[in-house]
Each structure stands twice: as structure tokens, then as C-alpha cells.
Structure 1
């Protein structure tokens, strides 16, 4: 498998693995705009040269769009290998490339979000454990921070206090999200429309800066849905999934 690093120089012609449509698609344009603004913060997007979901995205933890304290670490936004790419060792290829790059940049180690049991849009804990990662912190909603140190006695990454007890003070549905996930550009407006049509209290909070994301009341900022103050899910909802949720 050959891999290519996406940069501001080639981003217009390269596909983005999690959204493979053309640049006129709102999901693609949203994700590419978000990436373009993060490259100067040290973000790396390494992907397969073949079209499909096979990529890793990582950034120095102090610039991560998550409420974590992990100075000196590299934070993995997403490691996603799916479809026909699974089972070929590509996840290991991508992680190894991230490790080598991070060590060359003098990082203490890596950190990433997961849960005790695999959940959509989060890393596989079995894979992480196999690669030597360990849990270093956990929020009340079961979201865990995993780390892989490169040096002995490295300070453990941890969640900021604002994220350890995910909760909002507002009633109804409250969604925190960023443009890191391209699906939000399409489906957040869709579920906002459904909520309005059905006269359901719904508020979408679009985190549009690193500072906002680093002080959010949730470990996961790409997508965190609450109901009457309580955390529900990090799984992106299309219109059908949201309607099913409302039926419950």
C-alpha cells in the first residue's frame, strides 16, 4: 500500500477518505476547509493513495480540539481503516508512521479516545491494547483517554475537569459538534430541520475554535448529543437515525 500526506499544496486534488465525493459536496468542502486551517497547527493527514477509508489524522495534543491536558504528546484525531482495506495490516502501517513521525518531533507519546467496548467513530480498544496503549483517564460517560508513552515516567495525559463529568444545564436536545467530521455539514442541518418541524427543543452548538473545543463539557467534540442535560451518544445521526431516537 502506498500512502500520501495531504497538505495545503495538494488538498484540492486529493480525496478525503471519510468523504469521497467531489469538492462541490458540502461534506468534502467543509472537511477540507477545516483541515487547511489546522495544518499550521501541526496536523498531519496521511492516507492511502487508493480511494477509500484508510487514513490517520493526528495533531500535537496542545492543539487538539478536545478538552485534554497532554502537553508534549501527539493526539490521534482519527485512525480509520474500513471496507476492503480491513485485515491487511494497514492500521499498523498508519500507526507506525504516526509513531515514527511523533518520535522524530520529540513527542512523549501518543494519546487517543476510545471506550472499553468498541463504539462507532472511536478507536478499537482491542487494537489499541495490542499495540501497547493503556487507559490513563475516563469520563463519567465511559469515554476513555488511552496513551502510548515513548519515554519512561512520562506525565499521564488527562481530561480537563470540564470534560470529566459530561453534562449541560439546558433542557431538550443539545448537540456539540465541530467541522472535523465531514458528515456534520450534511446531517446537522437535516436533524435541525426535523426538530423544528416536530416542534422539539433542539440546540446545535458549532465549536469553531480550538479554545471553544478545549473547554467543551464533553471529551468528544466532533459530535456529542445531550438530552435534558445528560449525554446520549457520539454517533453521528442522519435523519433516519434521529427519527428513530425521537420515537424512543
Structure 2
């Protein structure tokens, strides 16, 4: 497996001193950074990997064994790829390719059956680039009726799948309902934004914290830290749910 001095992996020893790539330009997510670091400190022993460019940049990959990944995806001996981001001036320098190659090499070294990730027929915000994944050999192995896809790079012919519960993408409750995880540093800020807006406008809302692996595996929707329902229907995985976006959902 290739390594590079340009990159580093977060560990229990360096976690407190390292920045989290996706929030380096904003102080309003500071609470989320601490929540994320606590969550990470509990996941690293499970084989969770957060690898980033050793610079002040949004260039990183994050993945974990599927068995301990907080997503409603089932399968044996797979890696689940949560995020692969390269933003700003760091695009076009081959960093995304290097990070993906590291993940693939790491999976093979650990004798995994493959790697999988959440995607969609039409590219959606907060999902890693489908075209890039396909270029690296990923294929669609499962789908939901509303256009979400599970992509996989299989090394041995086996494939993972969404849980049957996740593929329903519906709940019985009609009110605005949001399932949220603890992994992304943007989440506490967005949860509070939604909570305050709903309180100010007398909108019933159910904010459900997904704080255990068991809860994550049993979710009624595809999930990558965030899942929004309204009138019983799944709406989005986009976790930057500002008031304008929220208003559009509530008008449906």
C-alpha cells in the first residue's frame, strides 16, 4: 500500500491538534468539530480511517468497515466510503485519485471483499462524485425507487445492499422529521437552525438523534449522517438545510 508524506491519517495521538478539513474556514461549526472528534475517537479502534492532505485544505477521505459504519447498508467484509472531498485550488492536482488509490490498496491489504458508497442517479449535494467513482471501477449494485444508488467496487464478486427498511424511504409520521448523526461537524449548527426556525414559526418537528450503530443500521431511509422526511416521504440527505431550503420542503 502506497503512502505519502503529503498525507496523514488521524489517530488518537494527533486528533486533538489536527483540523477537520471540511470546516477550516468557519468558526460557527466549532461545536460540531468537538462532537465529530469525540465520535472519531470512539471509532478509530474499529478500523475507521480519516486521511487528509497535510495542509490547511479540504482534501480528505473517510471510510470504515461496513459492519461498523453508521449507515443502513448490509454486507460482509466491505469498506464503506463516507466522504471523499477535494475542494478549491486543490482540485486538478491528482489528490482525489491518490486518496481513492489509498483506500483501495488499504481494503485489499485488509483482505476486504470490496468498497461501497452512497450515490444517486442525479448527483446530489453531500454525496461524493459518482462519475469519479465509476471511473475507478465502482458499479451500481442496489437502488431505491426515488433515485438513490449503492455503488460498489467488488474484489470477489460479492455485493452489499441497502437494508429493506432503508429502501422504503417512508415513515408513518406526517410532520417534519429529521434523523441526524454525530459524525459531520456541520450537523449541530444545522439542527439548531431547524429547531429555531420551527419554534419561531410553530412548525411541528421531530429531531431524532442517531447515536448508536444499532439505530443507524435500522433507519427508514438512505443515510450519510442526515435524512429529512416530510408528510411521510423522504426528502433529502443534504445537511445544510437552511431556512430557504426548509421553506421549499414545507410548501409541498
Q: Shorter-normalised TM-score: what interval?
A: over 0.9
Aligned partner (choices 31, 37, 45) of residue 40 of structure 1: 45
Instruction: Give per-residue Cα distances to partners, 1:9-60, cap 9 Å, x unaligned.
Output: 1000001111225799102111111111111111000001111211000000
Aligned partner (choices 167, 172, 176) of residue 175 of structure 2: 172
- Unaligned runs of at least 5 residues, structure 2: none
CA contact (8 A) 1:172 1:201 kept: yes
Query: How many residues of Structure 1 are paired with residues of Structure 2 in the alignment?
Result: 246
Structure 1: how far apart are the matches of 2:109 and 2:89?
31
The reply on whether 1:2 has 2:13 as its aligned counterpart is no
Aligned partner (choices 196, 214, 220) of residue 217 of structure 2: 214
- Normalising by structure 2, report the TM-score: 0.93
CA contact (8 A) 2:117 2:152 kept: yes
Q: How does 1:68-79 map to 2 (within 5 A)?
A: 68-79=73-84
The reply on whether 1:97 has 2:98 as its aligned counterpart is no
CA contact (8 A) 1:213 1:221 kept: no
Instruction: Give per-residue Cα distances to partners, 1:153-179, cap 9 Å, x unaligned.
Output: x32111111111111111110001101
Please state whether the residue corresponding to 2:34 is helix, strand or coil.
helix
CA drift at 1:211: 0.7
Give the alignment's Cα RMSD to 1 decimal: 1.7
- Normalising by structure 1, report the TM-score: 0.94
CA drift at 1:108: 0.8
- Unaligned runs of at least 5 residues, structure 1: none
CA drift at 1:84: 1.2
**Deviant stretches of 4+, over 6 Å:** none
